[in-house]
Amino acid sequence: MSDDYLARIGTTIKEARHRAGLSQADLATKLETSQSAVARIEAGGQNLTLDNLARISEALDTELVALTRTSSSGAVHLKIEGGRTLSGAIDVKTSKNAAVALLCASLLNRGRTTLRNLARIEEVNRILEVLDSIGVKTRWLPDSADLEIIPPERIDLDGMDEAAARRTRTVIMFLGPLLHEFDNFRLPYAGGCDLGTRTVEPHMTSLTHFGLDVTATQGWYEAKVTGQDAADKTIILTERGDTVTENALMAAARHPGRT
């Protein structure tokens, strides 16, 4: 690869890491390499194989390499040689994005929530730590990947495990459910002020329709809820992102009007 191409890839990886709320050390741990190696990659000083890029893509949960169309018509040509007998079994991986979104959505439910076949991964564990700290009772059902969630009478945001919350960007999806519970609240976020300001803007744009005003300060989302009403809402998302869409859905779920 040319130096210019490596530099472009390095910049792309750095931006994806920032969006994921990870430090260079965090990414190095996921890749089982050193922080200095990550720094070289982001500076464009490290040759990368397709396998390297695939591992980095998986660690950052983002697509770094896309298949290029091979003709002006947009067709992608594949050659398949069949006639071979296949056998065996494949374990289907459950979705990390769906798992954490459903954990946040459980805050909307006044009763017991049971999530079946939940992905037992670190991101899920982090959100469970946050939920437990604010009074939500969670437990894995015996000999299964099923999780039971029981909300408290009143969510205790003052008791939130700040360290656990700062280890995941998913905490931003608490905004949609919590705007129905509190007039004022604050949530910690990971990644530093520059990340927070950029990341929170699409959420602010969509959730402001439900009376939520969010300011990203140094290390915190400061939220204030004013002017909630029952009027119908038409919302145009400024970003086609998973978390933005899910936040808007959760805010709309308990809005009395049509969204």
Segment 84-141, tens digit of pLDDT: 787 887 666 667 788 999 999 999 999 999 999 888 888 899 999 999 999 999 999 9
**CA quadruple 10, 164, 175, 105: dihedral sign:** positive
Task: Tell me what pLDDT residue 72 has.
Answer: 53
- pLDDT > 80? residue 33: yes
Between 1-10, 108-117, 248-257, the lowest mean confidence (pLDDT) is in 1-10
Q: What is the mean pLDDT of residues 197-206?
A: 73
* CA–CA separation, 241 and 120 (whole Å): 23
* Confidence band of 204 (pLDDT split at 50, 70, 90): confident
Strand partners, 139: 148
> Start-end ranges of CATH 3.65.10.10 in the chain?
96-253
Q: What is the mean pLDDT of residues 167-189?
A: 91
Q: For residues 80 and 10, which has the higher predicted lDDT (pLDDT)?
A: 10
**Would you tell me how many other CB atoms lie within 10 Å of the CB of residue 58?**
12
Between 100-114, 188-202, 204-218, the lowest mean confidence (pLDDT) is in 188-202
Burial label, 15 (beta-carbon count in 10 A; 0-12, 13-18, 19+): middle
Task: Tell me what pLDDT residue 93 has.
Answer: 62
Task: Tell me what pLDDT residue 75 has.
Answer: 62
- pLDDT > 80? residue 164: yes
CATH superfamily membership of 3-60: lambda repressor-like DNA-binding domains (1.10.260.40)
- Topology (CATH level 3) of domain 96-253: UDP-n-acetylglucosamine1-carboxyvinyl-transferase; Chain (3.65.10)
Residue percentage of the chain with pLDDT more than 90: 45
Q: For residues 193 and 44, which has the higher predicted lDDT (pLDDT)?
A: 44
Between 11-25, 85-99, 229-243, the lowest mean confidence (pLDDT) is in 85-99
> Start-end ranges of CATH 1.10.260.40 in the chain?
3-60
Average pLDDT, the chain: 85
- pLDDT > 80? residue 183: yes
Q: What is the mean pLDDT of residues 230-240?
A: 87
